[in-house]
Chains A and B, each alone.
Chain A
Amino acid sequence: MLDGTDLIYAYDGSFEGLMCCVFESYQRKEIPNIIRPPSVQETLFDTAKRIETDGQKADRVYNSIPMKISPQAQEFVKLGFLTCDPHKEMLIFHFLRLGFKHGGKVMMMLTDDTVCSLQKAVRHLTSESHKFKGFVRFSVYGEVLIAVIEPKNYVLPLLSPHFCDRYRNERFMIYDKTHGMALIFQSQKAELIFVEELTLPDVDSAELEYRRLWKQFYKTIAIEGRNNPRCRMTFMPKRYWSQMTEFDEIIGPTQWQTSLCTPDAQATYKISPDYKVPTKD
């Protein structure tokens, strides 16, 4: 029998899988000190305990959150799973254990290390997703709008309701290069799919013209006597610039190699595209 200090859970990387880890821990009365997604390299003497994903177990844990803790806690945990925090699994795990012990007031335990770290991660996620509502840049290809983003957190599920609502009559795609995922909206339906590579066709002259107009507007609207590059950098760090039209040096076709592919059963983010962001924590 392993002692608690090096108990490792290996799960399939899905939200359901993580819920099953929580289930397992309660059932076996044990506390893992690492919960590992499949992307991590397995070593030869891997002692990790494989946690199978079982929809029923996952549902039991998931459905008990609003009842035993609070509906806000359930939203919070879902958001936590979208963050890029490298320890998000353990944070969510400990948060839920705390919650099952203390009930709804866990959301107010702001001075607790777990709650505080998870909150920080979620704030990072929501603030990044808010930024992208503005920083996403579409290019028009025929009838379709296509944008590429490189976010740190998995923001697509949060961007989906906003863009689908705003561009109701459009067909569009937002490709998340970091996570290899794309949000596709057409005929009033949104879908999140895996995309490994993407090659975009050349843009037409009208598209080039509007890019030129936008760049000109961007340049003109700044007041020279108030130049403040540092302030700009604070609000819009350089990492966003690479996909923004106004910083595109050569206006021309952007090239990525690409092909669309279907979702891989493993490691799917099982959060529906019309997933709603809670308004306030």
Chain B
Amino acid sequence: MIIDVYNKLTILSDSAKYDVACTSSGVDRKGKFGSIGSAAKAGICHSFSADGRCISLLKVLMTNVCIFDCKYCVNRVSNDIVRVAFTPHELAELTINFYRRNYIEGLFLSSGVIKNPNHTTEQLIKALELLRSVYHFNGYIHVKAIPGADSELITRLGLLADRMSINIELPSQESLTLLAPNKTKESILRPMGLITAKIQENCTDLVKYRHASKFVPAGQSTQLIVGATPDTDHKILTLTEGLYKKYHLKRVFFSAYMPVAENSLLPSMDTKPPLLREHRLYQADWLLRFYGFEAKELLDEQNPNFNLQVDPKCNWALNHLEKFPLEINKAPFEMLLRVPGIGVTSAQRILMARRNSPIDFSGLKKIGVVLKRAQYFITCKGKIMDGLKVTSDGTIRALMADQYKLPSPYPEQLSFFTEPFITREDVQQCLTGQI
């Protein structure tokens, strides 16, 4: 029987791996007597796979049987592959046994559409109910909502999970029609809106009745595929911003498209995944969520795609040199955040330290601010950094571009994760997807 589970695990984790969300964040929950498990708001990474991504949850499909035919997906009905399914019992045993050994922070359960969306959702509910009430699992659960399922079922599912997501995958209706013929914008956005409404309703319930059960306390997320369609970064980022504002999503994930099928509508099989582009989108997403930027400040119709040479924040600064240099001892927090090389933590430390006494460049270094790029954009006590020779805006531009010089004609092959990012502390969280 175990051999069987071994094969199922191989197949069902292999087909789940393109879903990049693997965070276990967003909710703090203490352990309970008689149960196993707890949840930590900041999320915990339990390992890192060979591709450098955080492994936090047991990420599997309930089944890879699917009646839909999304062109970009390995599980599409027209693809000739082995189809298997976990029983709820197998899945629960696997989760609990991994969890006890501290391999994982919880479960990320998704599924192909088996029979129909309602039936699939019922299967998911069955598995999670078993895990929660029979196995007393109190750890993190992220579950996928199936587009097209009834509201009542989605609601029941949401009461069993910490986070729910529906992947939009393709950023426009045209792309959806072309590549995911069984899905529509409506079938995705309706349940998304339902989840948003339920979360809000639940908040008021919790105030009214303290023991009301929690509906997806860690919120909702989604994923967009980058590079499968001609949609621009501008389109993707504007959509992302809308999702945060309108649907109060906790996270929007981006997944560089990996060719899985030969199809004239899709990039050819030898296309490399646009990893650097994906990286730029994550950086921009970070700027939207924590740095007070708006999408329109970063991209517009004239410049619809990110500069691959320079990160979005630095790019913004280079286009707004009139706002610099900034005096470290006076600049408001929001402006400190806009200095290339200064992250949220650094900005907070600057605020704290300067309350005590004015800061000079050596003080900045001690606080932990990396001056490599920041030096061109700041003054300390009215002075620019010693030995810094900047004659014109052009020089700064040249210097910045130089720091980003791409050593190979294939940016995708770069080990770009080590390039200067917004700040080091941020890169870690951004890439590991925590928060």
Interface residues of A (CB under 8 A from B): 105, 108-111, 113, 116, 120, 130-131, 133-140, 145, 147, 162, 165-170, 209-210, 212-214, 216-218, 220-232, 234-236, 244-246
Contact = CB atoms under 8 A, between A and B. Distances in A.
A109 B353 contact: yes
A226 B432 contact: no
A107 B341 CA distance: 24
B293 interface: no
19 contacts: A111-B362, A116-B366, A130-B44, A134-B44, A168-B34, A168-B36, A210-B97, A213-B98, A218-B49, A222-B53, A223-B258, A226-B258, A227-B50, A228-B52, A231-B48, A234-B52, A234-B418, A235-B52, A246-B47
Chain B interface residue bracket vs A: 35 or more
A138 B31 contact: no
Main secondary structure of the interface of A (DSSP, over half): helix
B94 interface: yes
B47 A213 contact: no
A166 B101 CA distance: 12
A97 B48 CA distance: 43
B336 to A, nearest CB: 15
Contact of A232 (B31, B48, B102, B362): B48
B2 A134 contact: no
A99 B224 CA distance: 51
Nearest to B94: A213
A235 B424 CA distance: 12
A170 B36 contact: yes
Contact of A210 (B16, B98, B418): B98
B59 A167 contact: no
Nearest to B50: A222
A54 B351 CA distance: 40
A169 B34 contact: yes
A108 B6 CA distance: 54
Interface of B: 2, 5-6, 9-10, 13-14, 16-18, 30-38, 40, 42, 44-56, 58-59, 94, 97-98, 100-103, 105, 139, 256, 258, 272-273, 275, 349, 352-353, 355-357, 359, 362-363, 366-368, 415, 417-418, 428, 431-432
Q: 7 closest Cβ contacts across the A-B interface?
A: A231-B52, A111-B363, A222-B49, A228-B52, A226-B51, A165-B31, A134-B46
Contacts of A136: 102
Contact of A110 (B37, B48, B258, B366): B366
B49 A232 contact: yes
Nearest to B42: A130
Contacts of A130: 42, 44
A227 B52 CA distance: 7
Nearest to B98: A214
A134 B37 CA distance: 13
Given A228-B417, A234-B418, A235-B45, 8 more contacts: A162-B40, A210-B97, A214-B98, A216-B10, A217-B9, A221-B49, A226-B258, A234-B428
A235 B353 contact: no
Contacts of A234: 52, 417-418, 428
B101 A138 contact: yes
B51 A228 contact: yes
Contacts of A223: 17-18, 51, 53, 258
Nearest to A241: B47
Contacts of A108: 352-353, 355-356
Contacts of B101: 137-140, 145, 210, 214, 245
A163 to B, nearest CB: 8
A165 B30 contact: yes
A133 to B, nearest CB: 5
A222 B10 contact: no
A147 B102 contact: yes
B51 A138 contact: no
B355 A134 contact: no
Contacts of B51: 222-224, 226-228, 231-232
Contacts of B103: 137, 214, 245
Contacts of B30: 165
A147 B38 CA distance: 19
A212 B103 CA distance: 12
B265 to A, nearest CB: 20
B408 to A, nearest CB: 15
Contact of B418 (A137, A218, A230): A230
Contact of B102 (A137, A236, A246): A137
Contacts of A210: 97-98, 101
Given A168-B31, A169-B35, A223-B18, A217 B58 contact: yes
Given A166-B31, A168-B33, A223-B258, A235 B54 contact: yes
Contacts of B31: 165-168
B337 to A, nearest CB: 18
Contacts of B356: 105, 108-111
B36 A221 contact: no
A213 B93 CA distance: 12
Name which of A137, A168, A169 has the most chain B CB atoms within 10 A of its CB: A168
A120 B365 CA distance: 13
Given A136-B102, A214-B101, A220 B273 contact: no
Contacts of B418: 230-231, 234
Given A111-B353, A111-B366, A166 B38 contact: yes
Contact of B59 (A212, A221, A226): A221
